[in-house]
Structure 1
Amino acid sequence: MQITDPVMVRSLVRDEAATYLAPFLHEDHSVSDAAELLHLPLAKVHYWVRSLYDVGLLEIAAETRRKGRAIKRYQAIASEFVVPAEVLPSGHFERVMRRSNAEMTDALIAAAPEWVLAGDFRIRASSPQRGSQDRVGRENAGQETTTHQSGCRLRITEDEARQLGAELRDLRDRWIARSQDESDLTPYQLNIALAPMPG
C-alpha cells in the first residue's frame, strides 16, 4: 500500500517503526502478544501500538470482552507499506546511511578493538599497477567476536557491477531469511555497499 499522508509518512520513517509494525503486518495481535513476540517491554510496545493506531496505520481487528478493560487485537491496514520517494523527508536515506555507517564503526570498535584500534597497517600490490592498503590483525591478538569489515576499489564494467550488485542482494536476502529476529541470539549489524567512485 502506498502511503502519502504526511502524518502517516512521519510515523513510518521513524527509526523503529518497522520493528513495531512487524507482528501486525502478518496477523492480528494484542499488545502483550506483540511484546512477547518482539522480546520488548510491554510499555514500549503499548506506546508504539497506540501511536501507530492513532495515525491510522493499525486498526482494531478484534476485541475480547472481559472484566475490566477489553483486550484489543490490532492489525496493520496493509501487509506492506511503500512511501514514494517524492514524499519522503529531504535527505532521508542519506541520514539513514550515515547513521548505519556510524553504528557499524561503533560496533566494530566495541567487538574487536584489537583489530580496529590496534591492527597493523599494510600496503601491498597484487600487480605493478595495483596497490592496496588494509589492516591486519596480529596472530597473537586473539579476537573473541566474529567481525568483518573490508573495502576495496574494483575496476569492472557496468554489466559486472550489476551482476555483483545482484549477488550481494541475494547474499543479504539469504542471511535475512536465516536470521531469527524473535530469538535471544546476538544481533549483528551487516552493511553492504557498492557504488561507482565520483569522477
Structure 2
Amino acid sequence: MQAKELTVHSRAAARLLAEAAQYLAPFALQPTTVVQAAASLGLPLGRVHYWVQKAEALGLLLVEREQRRAGRAQRHYVTAARTFVVPADLLDIQRRLDREQGMYRQFLTAVERRQPELLGDGRMTVTFSAHGANLNFGEQGWSGEVLHIWAGSVHLLPDDARQLRRELTEVFERSYARHSTSEQAAPYLIHLGVVEHDEMN
C-alpha cells in the first residue's frame, strides 16, 4: 500500500531519487505498467524498464498487481510513497554539483547551436549604478526560439523576491502540465532560479 510520506534510509535509494526521480513519476498517481510509463514519458521502453528494476529492488516501487496477457505476466507498479524524504547526510553534494554543471553545459550547447549570438562575443562589460558594479558577460537575450537571461545584480525587496519566485514557479508548473507525447512535440531544456546573493565588497 502506498504511503503518504516515506523517509529514505539507503544511500543507493537517495542517489536514484536524485538522479532519476522523473522515471518514477508516472507510477505515483495510480498503478501503471512499464509500457504505459514509457509512453507517458515519451522515452524508450528499455530505459524506463532499467530504472523500474532498480527502483523496485530498492523498495521505491511496489508491485500493486499482476495481470496475465498473452501468457505473460504484466506488472502494475506504484511508488512506495507519494513523497520521499531524503536526509541531508545521504546526499552526495559533489555528485549533484557535477550533474547540475553537466546539465547547464547541455543548456549552453543547445543555445549555441540554435542562437549563438545570445552567448555574447566573449567580452565583459562593467556598468556602474547607485547599487554598485554590474558585470555582464553578454550571456543573455531571447529570440523566437531561445530564451537565455542571466542577471547577476538585481536588487529586490524580500516581498518582491518572494513574488518573483511564486510567478516563475507557476509558469513552470503550467508548462510542465502541458507535457505532450505527440510526435510533433520536441524536448526543451528549462532552467529557472532565484536566490539571494552575497556580493563581494
Identity of matched residues, % = 29
- In 1, the alpha carbon distance for the partners of 2:122 and 2:38 equals 41
Cα distance change of structure 1 residues 2 and 89 upon mapping to structure 2, 3 Å threshold: farther
Name stretches of at least 5 consecutive residues in structure 1 with no aligned partner: 138-142
| Contact 1:58 1:76 survives alignment (8 Å) | yes
Deviation of the 1:131 alpha carbon:
6.2
Show the 5 A alignment for 1:1-199. Answer: 1-6=5-10, 7-13=12-18, 15=19, 17-66=20-69, 68-91=71-94, 93-116=96-119, 133=136, 135=138, 145-177=145-177, 179-184=178-183, 185-194=185-194, 195-199=196-200
Q: CA-to-partner distance for each residue in 1:22-66, whole Å, 9 max, x for gaps?
A: 111111122222222222222222222111111111111111134
The normalised TM-score by structure 1 is 0.75
- In 2, the alpha carbon distance for the partners of 1:54 and 1:117 equals 47
The AA in structure 2 aligned to 1:38 is L
Cα distance change of structure 1 residues 53 and 187 upon mapping to structure 2, 3 Å threshold: same
| Contact 1:23 1:29 survives alignment (8 Å) | yes
Question: Paired residue for 1:140?
Answer: none
CA RMSD of aligned residues (A): 3.3
- In 1, the alpha carbon distance for the partners of 2:149 and 2:41 equals 29
Deviation of the 1:112 alpha carbon:
0.9
- In 1, the alpha carbon distance for the partners of 2:81 and 2:180 equals 21
| Contact 1:112 1:144 survives alignment (8 Å) | no
Name stretches of at least 5 consecutive residues in structure 2 with no aligned partner: none
- In 2, the alpha carbon distance for the partners of 1:150 and 1:37 equals 32
* Count of residue pairs brought into register by the alignment: 191
Higher gyration radius (CA): 1
Deviation of the 1:117 alpha carbon:
5.6
Cα distance change of structure 1 residues 84 and 41 upon mapping to structure 2, 3 Å threshold: same
| Contact 1:120 1:135 survives alignment (8 Å) | yes
Secondary structure at the counterpart of residue 49 of structure 2: helix
